[in-house]
Structure 1
Amino acid sequence: MKVDLAGALRRRWYVVLIGLLITPALCFGATRLVGETYEAKAMLVLLPPGASIPKAGNPYLNLGSMQPVVGVLSDSMLSQQTARSVRDVSPTASFTVAPDPATSGAVLIIDVKDTTSAGAARVLKMLTSSAPQELEKLQDAAKTPAKGRITTDLVAQDTKPVASHKKQQRAGLLIAAMGIALTVLVAAFVDGFASRRSRRRGADSSRGARHASESAEIESVEIDDVPTSGVADAASTPEPGREARGEREHPSDSDGFNLEDDRDAALAEFDMQRLSPRG
């Protein structure tokens, strides 16, 4: 069945108007409910052992050999113990620790997100201080000598978390899309319901008119079918045995004349002629 969506929206403009008024309010409520997200990042570089660096050498030139260590350290910092420590600092905070995909060196990126700026700052500070400790634990477990140990260097850290509105934007866009779609669906449903109801009323009224017309035709046919000729024949037909008894039909019944009245009139005229003086 073809649906005239544009026509339905035009006919049910009041539904569209209500939907367009409610949707922005819902979007605003969704953005307020989600709230802002504060993000803070830090960048750590893993430096090779001093014994592997030649005299007057630059440790940053040998960062390529530290890539496997970065992967091990990031996985170690994503343990349940670290997650519990983060929850103790800020229960609403989330974090990621991963190698920097933009570089080929031993660069570790710590990314913290929280609903408050202070919470994000505290969690970032805790993670940047726990990264060297976690690296030391790994090297202690491997019984690495002091001269062959890898160290970390904090290259960059956000001093103030940055407010991010991405979640609010996503929530607002989602609610807006849902509100518009729901408005269109409700308008189409109301228009279809009203159209079906109108057609049903029209069908009922036409059905009633047709029924009344059929009833009138049936009554007319019944009246036309009444045997009136039989009644007239019965009235004009003499009763059985009447002629046998010597009874004759009165002339007034057959000819429409009354002989007694004619006789009285003739006698009256005769008397008048007799009584009148003869000339």
Structure 2
Amino acid sequence: MTIRFDDRVAIVTGAGNGLGREHALALAKRGAKVVVNDLGGDVSGAGGSATAAEAVVAEIVAAGGEAIANGANVCKVDEVEAMVQAAMDKWGRIDILVNNAGILRDKTFTKMEHSNFNMVVDVHLTGSMNCTKAVWDIMRDQGFGRIVMTTSSSGLYGNFGQANYGSAKMGVVGLMNTLCLEGAKYNINVNCLSPCAATRMTEGLMPQEALDLLKPELVTPAVLYLVSDEGPNRTILAAGAGHFARAVVNETEGLAFAEGEATAENIAANWDAIANSEQKELKAGGEQTMKFLQHAAAANGVKLG
């Protein structure tokens, strides 16, 4: 089966360069009409220019596709809403949103200014929320939507000097975890991409032979799958160098103590059983609550319900 996006309309943020550019080109090649959004700033978020977005649009049009350029700052609600309205005015629907726009302002935590922490969180996390909020009711009303948040191994696992970036990137996972529950009955799937690619953000961090393997276009197939009609919901799909893997947050079964035995000392004495018992993926916060209640009821001889 060939995945196509004929009659679908997609918005890709940060699509003037790197990963976003590849996502936009690939969606258009497979039939989507694409809003190529890019503020046109540098890696730190400074400056702005329409040149990069317009160049991507020109590539798409030259190949026979349909696209429009947009320079909205994802941090500004009015600009994001105007971008969405422009897409609606031109094509009448929005089916796909790829939240890709991002910046870097790396420093160790002791040297990081509040403004640089807040700005990175604003672009990655709040910017993703702004764009998602602007298309949410459209997708709900039309009974279809596919949304991708861009997370990172820095958020999932940590990375030195990236407290701001890692916080924002784990934040979008939390955003996905709730929105996928709220959107499911409206056929809105919300997923996360965790990419590893050679872009402006990774220049100088690895030897050239490694960067040559990390082509951005080798990540984009993950996006195409996530936003397809038959794509998953609530999935963190990691992608890099043609390798794809699913990242999962698991919780151990743990150990319950009767009320009088629930002490710090008993946690310490039974740490291996708590930390290394069987793991499983929970699909909603309420599942953890029910697990705790069931174990607590058994430990205290209480019958629930």
Name the one with the larger helix percent: 1
Scaled by the length of structure 2, the TM-score of the pair is: 0.22
Q: Which has the higher contact order (CA 8 A, sep 6+)?
A: 1
Scaled by the length of structure 1, the TM-score of the pair is: 0.23
Rg larger in 1 or in 2?
1
